[in-house]
């Protein structure tokens, strides 16, 4: 459970905010449905009622009694006789009003003066005549501030069974229902639809709020924003590189340190790890295809990086991997110095052991009085060492490298291995930096070769050194078991960590050689001959050290 503590009042959880928002949306949708329903019911009422009112108006206007009475009234002067004639139409209006849904029926002159009406108070009033008086009309009207559905039909005189002149107008009205009346008239259907809509909306909102609450651990929006800000600040402030990869092999998160250590582009998030230009071994360490070993080592550009990978999961499901990486270039350099010191110690120990055996032999001969044998042995030893030194120094003009080859020959001899410098070897004096890097490379390759063939019958290590115009060529071979082809990449990635005696100088040789080659723009390759053969191309300065 993720919790956030703050001195401020806790904001409503994101789930609660989503719930409120969803309810507001549901209420808005229901209100819109109600409005649309009211508009539809109003339009339906206007259409149906207008048609009914037109029918009633046409029926009344076409009544024989109405046509004849209006014709008689129009042919007489205004007075009691005309009024009596018109009043005889009142029963006709009452009958039509009773048998229809109309609320008001008026009979008026062609110019709009009401002659007879179902409402006696309207007699004598003048009504507005929309459009042409002799034409039918229907629509909405405002009467005393109220809206009515009205229809008008012309009354024509009857002349020998033929329609004659316009003698009057029939106006039929029905009150337009209020909003409440329209709601109550469609209450059953509207209540059903609104009820179903509200129920589905509330249920959907509740489900969404529960999902959001579970995914956000009940946090508020501002708390989630603060968590995201803290996460970004922490990730980008730590010195170790952190890179996360999803199950699809794409980068999901990376901090600034990882960008720098792996020399990645500015924004690799979303890109496949395999497409970032990294070595295959590094890609395998990052995407989880390689075994998840502790402190796996790889050389990236000119750095030695230590990788630690963990599987990331959420809710019991795997979502990818998270890999941390640390720069151990300085540590490897220190280990290189320690390895050189240990190599010198081994050399001195081997020479001490060799001299001790020779001194014991001389001491025994002296005690036996065999002085001629002493002179012969000393001469032989001196001549053999001088020949060995002359062979090496005649081909290697750099004193540090020559001394290294002589020292390694003594170490190899003690372990029963013959170390031989090839006849075609030739090395000029070097500047201090080139000499130091070459001794490191050569020393580690020779140590690995001695380890590989030590204990075998006829164990032998060969060393070849040549110099070109801009590159030094180093080749160290042995007659050991060799390196299987499938492991020729891995030995440069994890070789130094596979042996427990790291502080003793073991296991760091090949990654260190590859690091030096990468830093200087050189290369190292391994292939098979009688055993393993390591070939190195190492750039060197054109300025030569004076012998």
Strands of the 317-327 sheet, one edge to the other: 251-254, 241-246, 317-327, 303-314, 296-300
Rounded to the nearest angstrom, the gap between the alpha carbon of residue 407 and the centroid of all alpha carbons in its chain is 57
Q: Average pLDDT, stretch 96-123?
A: 83
Q: Average pLDDT, stretch 90-112?
A: 82
Has residue 501 got a pLDDT over 60? no
Helix or strand (DSSP H, E) at 60: helix 14-61
Q: What average pLDDT is seen over the chain?
A: 75
pLDDT tens per residue across span 194-243: 677 667 767 776 777 677 666 666 665 666 666 666 666 666 667 788 88
User: Would you say 474 and 307 are in contact if contact means Cβ atoms under 8 Å apart?
Assistant: no
Out of 228-232, 379-383, 543-547, pick the least confident: 543-547
* Distance between CA atoms of residues 207 and 230, nearest Å: 30
Q: Average pLDDT, stretch 480-490?
A: 78
Taking alpha carbons only, the member of 403, 450, 396, 447 closest to residue 426 is 396
Has residue 360 got a pLDDT over 90? no
Q: How many CB atoms lie within 10 A of CB 539?
A: 15
Q: Take residue 139 and report the two structure tokens written for it.
A: 């629509």
* Distance between CA atoms of residues 38 and 186, nearest Å: 9
**pTM of the prediction?**
0.45
User: Would you say 424 and 464 are in contact if contact means Cβ atoms under 8 Å apart?
Assistant: yes
Out of 108-117, 227-236, 287-296, 306-315, pick the least confident: 227-236
Q: Which of 12-16, 133-137, 364-368, 530-534 has the highest mean pLDDT?
A: 530-534
Q: Is 13 helix (H, G, I), strand (E, B) or coil?
A: strand
Three-state secondary structure string covering 467-506 = ECCCEEEEEEEECCCCCCHHHCCHHHCCHHHCCCCCCCCC
User: Would you say 101 and 174 are in contact if contact means Cβ atoms under 8 Å apart?
Assistant: yes
What pLDDT, on a 0 to 100 scale, did the predictor assign at position 533? 92
* Pairing label, strands 418-421, 460-467: parallel
What pLDDT, on a 0 to 100 scale, did the predictor assign at position 384? 62
Sequence-ordered list of residues with C-beta below 8 angstroms from that of 295, at least 6 positions apart, any chain: 306, 307, 308, 497
Confidence tier at 474 by pLDDT (50, 70, 90): very high
Q: Take residue 485 and report the two structure tokens written for it.
A: 């082809």
Q: Take residue 414 and report the two structure tokens written for it.
A: 């003690």
Report the length, in residues, of the chain.
Answer: 547
Has residue 543 got a pLDDT over 50? yes
* Distance between CA atoms of residues 499 and 515, nearest Å: 19
* Distance between CA atoms of residues 139 and 54, nearest Å: 10
Q: What residues pair up with 105 in beta bridges, in sequence order? A: 172
Out of 241-245, 345-349, 536-540, pick the least confident: 345-349
Has residue 465 got a pLDDT over 90? yes
User: Would you say 34 and 143 are in contact if contact means Cβ atoms under 8 Å apart?
Assistant: no
What pLDDT, on a 0 to 100 scale, did the predictor assign at position 475? 94
What pLDDT, on a 0 to 100 scale, did the predictor assign at position 294? 65
Out of 120-129, 387-396, 415-424, 497-506, pick the least confident: 497-506
- List phi, psi (to 5°) of 174: -135, 135
What pLDDT, on a 0 to 100 scale, did the predictor assign at position 313? 80
What pLDDT, on a 0 to 100 scale, did the predictor assign at position 500? 44
What pLDDT, on a 0 to 100 scale, did the predictor assign at position 81? 57
Confidence tier at 458 by pLDDT (50, 70, 90): confident
Confidence tier at 2 by pLDDT (50, 70, 90): very low
pLDDT tens per residue across span 45-93: 777 887 888 888 888 888 888 888 887 776 654 455 556 667 777 787 8
Phi-psi region of 187 (alpha: psi -120 to 50; beta: other; left: phi over 0): alpha
Domains and CATH numbers, the chain: 24-183 (3.30.450.20), 238-327 (3.30.450.20), 338-539 (3.30.565.10)
Has residue 175 got a pLDDT over 50? yes
Strands of the 471-478 sheet, one edge to the other: 418-421, 460-467, 471-478, 532-539, 523-528
Q: Which of 407-411, 493-497, 532-536 has the highest mean pLDDT?
A: 532-536
What pLDDT, on a 0 to 100 scale, did the predictor assign at position 534? 93
Q: Average pLDDT, stretch 88-104?
A: 80
Axis-axis angle for helices 371-393, 329-368 (nearest 10): 150
* Distance between CA atoms of residues 141 and 406, nearest Å: 122
Out of 43-57, 121-135, 249-263, pick the least confident: 121-135
Q: Average pLDDT, stretch 431-454?
A: 87
Phi-psi region of 279 (alpha: psi -120 to 50; beta: other; left: phi over 0): beta
* Distance between CA atoms of residues 212 and 218, nearest Å: 8
pLDDT tens per residue across span 322-338: 888 888 766 666 555 56
What pLDDT, on a 0 to 100 scale, did the predictor assign at position 234? 65
């Amino acid at each position: 459970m993720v919790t956030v503590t703050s001195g401020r009042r806790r904001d409503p959880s994101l789930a609660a905010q989503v719930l409120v928002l969803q309810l507001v949306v549901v209420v808005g949708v229901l209100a819109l449905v109600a409005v649309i329903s009211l508009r539809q019911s109003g339009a339906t009422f206007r259409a149906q009622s207008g048609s009914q009112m037109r029918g009633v108006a046409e029926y009344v206007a076409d009544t024989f009694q109405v046509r004849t009475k209006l014709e008689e009234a129009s042919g007489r002067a205004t007075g009691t006789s005309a009024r009596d004639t018109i009043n005889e139409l009142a029963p006709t209006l009452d009958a039509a009003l009773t048998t229809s849904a109309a609320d008001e029926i008026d009979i008026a002159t062609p110019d709009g003066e009401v002659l007879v009406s179902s409402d006696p108070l309207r007699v004598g009033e003048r009504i507005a005549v929309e459009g042409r008086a002799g034409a039918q009309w229907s629509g909405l009207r405002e009467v005393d501030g109220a809206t009515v559905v009205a229809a008008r039909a012309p009354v024509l005189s009857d002349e020998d069974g033929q329609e004659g002149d316009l003698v009057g107008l029939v106006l039929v009205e029905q009150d337009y229902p209020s909003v409440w009346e329209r709601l109550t008239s469609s209450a059953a259907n509207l209540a059903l639809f609104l009820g179903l809509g509200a129920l589905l909306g509330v249920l959907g909102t509740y489900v969404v709020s529960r999902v959001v609450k579970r995914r956000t651990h009940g946090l508020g929006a501002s708390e989630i924003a603060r968590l995201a800000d803290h996460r970004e600040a922490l990730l980008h402030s730590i010195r170790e590189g952190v890179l996360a990869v999803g199950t699809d092999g794409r980068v999901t998160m990376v901090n600034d340190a990882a960008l720098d250590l792996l020399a990645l582009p500015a924004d690799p998030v979303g890109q496949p790890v395999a497409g970032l230009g990294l070595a295959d071994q590094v890609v395998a360490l990052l995407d989880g295809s390689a075994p998840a070993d502790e402190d796996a080592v790889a050389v990236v550009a000119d750095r030695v990086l230590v990788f630690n990978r963990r599987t990331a999961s959420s809710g019991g499901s795997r979502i990818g991997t998270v890999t941390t990486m640390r720069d151990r270039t300085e540590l490897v350099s220190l280990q290189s110095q320690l390895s050189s010191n240990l190599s010198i110690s081994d050399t001195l120990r081997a020479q001490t052991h060799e001299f001790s055996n020779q001194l014991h032999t001389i001491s025994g001969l002296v005690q036996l009085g065999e002085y001629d044998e002493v002179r012969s042995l000393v001469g032989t030893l001196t001549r053999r060492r001088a020949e060995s030194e002359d062979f090496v120094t005649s081909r290697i003009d750099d004193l540090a490298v020559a001394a290294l080859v002589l020292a390694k020959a003594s170490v190899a001899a003690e372990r029963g291995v013959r170390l031989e410098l090839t006849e075609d070897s030739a090395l000029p004096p070097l500047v201090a930096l080139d000499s130091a890097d070459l001794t490191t490379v050569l020393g580690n390759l020779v140590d690995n070769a001695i380890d590989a063939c030590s204990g075998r019958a006829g164990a032998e290590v060969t060393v070849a050194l040549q110099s070109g115009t801009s590159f030094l060529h180093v080749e160290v071979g042995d007659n050991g078991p060799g390196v299987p082809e499938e492991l020729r990449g891995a030995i440069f990635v994890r070789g130094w960590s596979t042996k427990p005696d790291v502080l003793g100088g073991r296991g760091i040789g090949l990654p260190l050689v590859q690091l030096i080659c990468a830093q200087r723009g050189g290369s190292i390759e391994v292939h098979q001959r009688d055993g393993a053969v390591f070939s190195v191309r190492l750039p060197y300065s054109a300025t030569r050290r004076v012998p």
